[in-house]
Amino acid sequence: MNARNRKPDRRAERSKQAILDATRELLADEGDVGALTVEAVAARSGVAKTTIYRRWRDKWELALDAVMIDMLPGFADPVDVGNTRKELITFVDGAMRNLSALPSGPAMQGLASQIATDPELGRVYREQVVEPRREQLRPVVERGIARGDLRPDTDVRLVHELMVGPIFYRLLFSGGPLDRKLSTRLADAILDGFAPARAAVTARKPRRR
């Protein structure tokens, strides 16, 4: 049987989910990735340590999968609803909800420095979180340009960074609330900042002479 026709390994998938669930439970209890151990995950999940290490390099990669990568499919998809503002809010709301709740918020606080200093973990984060999310945002930006809500030269990467950056700033530094109000303000800031030039000219008041 070739790879294309091979049936998914349901047992392996059940083991993976048990490991991820156990990791989230432990992180919710302890709130600290530093205190997490693969031994504790193995005991809680009933899966052997060797099985865990075959899939994840270390506890940091496992924690990242549990609190972010495995959560991405649950984020609402910003489908075309004919309204760029609503689609931007839908996009950012998934990250907002995840990072404002246990165990993801506290776990990402612990993971941030590790992602920044561990090249392999950073690569995993970029490839499995940043890039898929940016590609999910791309059609929203393209539709916004087509509707005349955004400038033709609007940069998807920059829009993504401007929407997600403030969430992490509040999570890691300022301690500001992560809520629906921030989602709407971020969407409005993008629409204002990337408004087509003609809109800016129309809105500009004439100079006094």
Kindly give the confidence (pLDDT) of every residue in the chain, 209 residues in length, as a single tens digit, with 9 standing for 90 and above.
Answer: 344 555 668 899 999 999 999 999 999 998 789 999 999 999 999 999 999 999 999 999 999 999 999 999 999 999 999 999 999 999 999 999 999 999 999 999 999 999 999 999 999 999 999 999 999 999 999 999 999 999 999 999 999 999 999 999 999 999 999 999 999 999 999 999 999 986 444 454 444 44
- What is the pLDDT, as a whole number, of residue 199? 44
- What is the pLDDT, as a whole number, of residue 30? 84
Domains delineated in the chain: 8-56 (1.10.10.60), 68-203 (1.10.357.10)
Percent helix, strand, coil in the chain (nearest 5)? 75, 0, 25
- Which pair of tokens denotes residue 31? 């709130």
Decide: 164 and 92 in contact? Cβ < 8 Å. Answer: yes
Decide: 157 and 85 in contact? Cβ < 8 Å. Answer: no
- What is the pLDDT, as a whole number, of residue 31? 79
Answer left, alpha or beta for residue 140, where phi above 0 means left and psi between -120 and 50 means alpha: alpha
| Sign of the dihedral through C-alpha 115, 117, 118, 122 | positive
- What is the pLDDT, as a whole number, of residue 1? 38
- What is the pLDDT, as a whole number, of residue 2? 47
Instruction: Please measure the distance between the N-terminal and C-terminal CA atoms of the chain and give it in whole angstroms.
Output: 81
Taking Cα atoms as reference points, which of 71, 36, 88, 53 lies closest to residue 194?
88
Give pairs for 154-159: CB < 8 Å, separation 24+.
154/194, 159/190, 159/194
| Sign of the dihedral through C-alpha 170, 171, 175, 176 | positive
Decide: 90 and 54 in contact? Cβ < 8 Å. Answer: no
